[in-house]
């Protein structure tokens, strides 16, 4: 039996859980942190991210939900890497991130 949330709440949970993908992705690449801290960051980020996805998919169709979750995770991870000056932002990368976000918004609007 899955938890059925109001649509707006399910989308908010999905977007927040997609953003938590950044936490576990960062933990995988954070060579400067001790392994114990990396493991804790990875586990906390994964539980929140996957848990939120699971809860949101009780209301949102799996195809749309998973696509939005991955898209939000990709864009927030890119933004975090740019903020930390680990990656650079060119106009081409910004364009494709905007296209990805517009696809995420489009899926939300039509679902």
State the sign of the Cα–Cα–Cα–Cα dihedral 20, 21, 22, 23.
positive
| Residue 46: partners with Cβ closer than 8 Å, 6 or more residues away | 24
C-beta separation of 49 from 17 below 8 A: yes
The whole domain housing 11 covers 7-110
Summarised one tens digit per residue, pLDDT across range 56-73 is: 999 999 999 999 999 999
Write down the pTM of the prediction: 0.86
Task: Give domain status of residue 55, yes or no.
Answer: yes
Rounded Cα distance, 32 and 78, in Å: 19
Share of the chain above pLDDT 90, in %: 80
Rounded Cα distance, 21 and 11, in Å: 16
Summarised one tens digit per residue, pLDDT across range 78-100 is: 999 999 999 999 999 999 999 99
Q: Would you state the pLDDT for residue 109? A: 81
Count structural domains, the chain. Answer: 1
Would you say how long the chain is, in residues? Answer: 111
- Is the confidence at residue 1, as pLDDT, over 70? no
Task: Give domain status of residue 56, yes or no.
Answer: yes
Task: Give domain status of residue 38, yes or no.
Answer: yes
């Amino acid at each position: 039996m899955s938890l059925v949330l109001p649509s707006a709440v399910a989308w908010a949970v999905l977007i927040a859980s997609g953003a938590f993908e950044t936490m576990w992705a960062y933990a995988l690449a954070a060579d400067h942190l001790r392994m114990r801290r990396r493991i804790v960051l990875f586990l906390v980020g994964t539980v929140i991210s996957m848990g939120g996805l699971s809860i949101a998919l009780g209301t949102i169709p799996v195809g749309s939900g998973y696509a939005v979750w991955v898209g939000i995770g990709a864009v927030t991870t890119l933004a975090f890497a740019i903020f930390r000056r680990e990656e650079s932002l060119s106009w081409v990368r910004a364009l494709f991130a905007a296209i990805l976000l517009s696809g995420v918004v489009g899926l939300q609007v039509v679902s």
